[in-house]
Amino acid sequence: MSQDLTAEQVDAIITQGPYHKWLGLKVTALGDDTIEIRATWREEWKVHPERPYTHGGILATLLDLAADWALVRRTGRGVPTIDFRVDYHSAAMPGDLIVKGRVVKPGSQFSTAEAQVFDLEGKLLASGRATYFTGAVAPKK
């Protein structure tokens, strides 16, 4: 079932969350184990008015989102993060960002995925890898 999700459907699911909507996310590509998301830059992302680069917490959020949602075709949903690591490579100056996520190792209970954040010129700004709980979800009561 989740293999049939389109980029537009995944975009609609992701942007239901107010924080995700505030981030200005747009799913631009979706593969079997990959996802590409564009994030629309906001003034509120700046670390400081005199230092206009994007706060690392925003980059970490984008990495976690892309790695998490790379698993969508396997799970049909977002999944909880168990462990997460981020490496920062360069300052993210004002401008939209492209985030690419991919599944590294799928599993029935736990899966590993990674993501990278790029500026619009293709410069690598941050990368990350995480473990997610992909086991069955308890039914709602």
pLDDT in tens, 12-34: 999 998 999 999 999 999 999 99
Q: Which residues contact 16 (CB under 8 A, 6 or more apart)?
A: none
CA 85 – CA 23 distance, rounded (Å): 21
- Whether residue 141 is contained in a domain is answered as no
* Composition of the chain by helix, strand, coil, percent to 5: 25, 40, 35
Rg (CA), the chain: 15
- 3-state secondary structure at position 110: strand
| The residue to which tokens 């459907």 are assigned | 9
What CATH number is associated with residue 52? Answer: 3.10.129.10
In a domain, 106, yes or no: yes
For the record, the structure tokens of 111 come out as 């899966």
Domain of residue 125: give its range.
2-133
Nearest Cα neighbor of 22 from 9, 35, 7, 39 is 39
Share of residues in the chain with pLDDT > 90 (%): 80
Q: What is the mean pLDDT of residues 73-85?
A: 91
Rounded average pLDDT over 75-84: 92
Is residue 11 one of the residues assigned to a domain?
yes
Whether 21 maps to a domain, the answer reads yes
Domain count, the chain: 1
- Among candidate residues 1, 136, 5, the one with its CA nearest the CA of residue 70: 5
In a domain, 99, yes or no: yes
Is the pTM value of this prediction over 0.85?
Answer: yes
Q: Is 138 a domain residue?
A: no
Contact 115, 70 (CB under 8 A): yes
How many whole angstroms separate alpha carbon 62 and alpha carbon 116? Answer: 9
Q: Is residue 122 part of a domain?
A: yes
- 55 lies in some domain: yes
